[in-house]
Amino acid sequence: MTKEAFILYERHVKTNGIIAVHVSNRSLNLEPVIMNVARHFNYEAATIDFDASRSKPWVRDSVWMLLSHNGKIINSPGIRQAARPPQTNPASIPLWTDDFASLFQILHWQTVRMESAFSQAQNKTAYDLCQQGDFAGAAASYRLALRTHPDSPDLLNNLAWLLATCPDATARNGPEAVQLAEKACSLTHYHAIALVGTLAAAYAEAGRFDDAMATAEKACAMASESGEQDLLKRNQELLVWYRVHQPYREAIEKLVPAAP
């Protein structure tokens, strides 16, 4: 995964060829390392999660990054529908070389903890505030909760949805919604359909409609494959908005699901 290694690989790859890099690792986040390589060598890149069939427990999930100088191949509908954004911004990670490769900066420090009861209580609080038209209060409730539970995918996702789709323009914040939704998806390895759908809505609010469409299409594909018809229909409806370059605006009563 060093610069010198890819110089060698390039000697053996055809003009329209693809380099497929296996980056699955429980301890290290190798995606920013490969994104640095892509930037250095002017590759188009796509990150793809392979979800193994649960009927074949001997086949493991894996993550692959595809690199090519041919943008038409990497941006083809099939690859883009299967791909997702890289999990980490590579700006703070130096390009690896044979002389320097730091593992410390790409260690996975956090583990995912689903705080179900806690999240439900916060959802109820935020729901009540939204019903009262206090969207700023609902967002503040989530932010307060995230101070003590910064890695709760539930809380990250619901705040992102609020900031992306709120009917009150003063409460929306596209860039923050993207940051929160990307973290929620990263923590769940982009396997949660609802969270991927929220990320698409956040991209749309931030004006990143190409990313919104690609991400919504991925959510639709995941829902179709898993047989989640309600989620499939929902994401198909949202995709219609993104295709005409319009962010989605949620009805007040639907902004935060009430806790059971």
Q: What domains are defined for the chain?
A: 3-106 (no CATH), 116-254 (1.25.40.10)
Average pLDDT for the chain: 81
State the pLDDT confidence band at 190, using cuts at 50, 70 and 90: confident
Q: Residue 63: beta bridge partners?
A: 49
pLDDT in tens, 245-259: 999 998 754 554 433
Give the Cα separation of 82 and 215 in Å (integer): 9
Nearest to 256 by CA among 136, 168, 130: 130
Nearest to 119 by CA among 24, 215, 258: 258
pLDDT in tens, 102-146: 776 666 544 444 445 555 676 677 777 877 888 888 888 888 888
**pTM reported for the whole predicted model:** 0.61
Tokens of 40: 């250095």
pLDDT in tens, 34-81: 888 888 888 888 888 876 655 666 667 788 889 988 888 888 888 877
The whole-number pLDDT of residue 176 equals 95
Nearest to 46 by CA among 26, 32, 66, 64: 66
Nearest to 63 by CA among 41, 39, 88, 42: 88
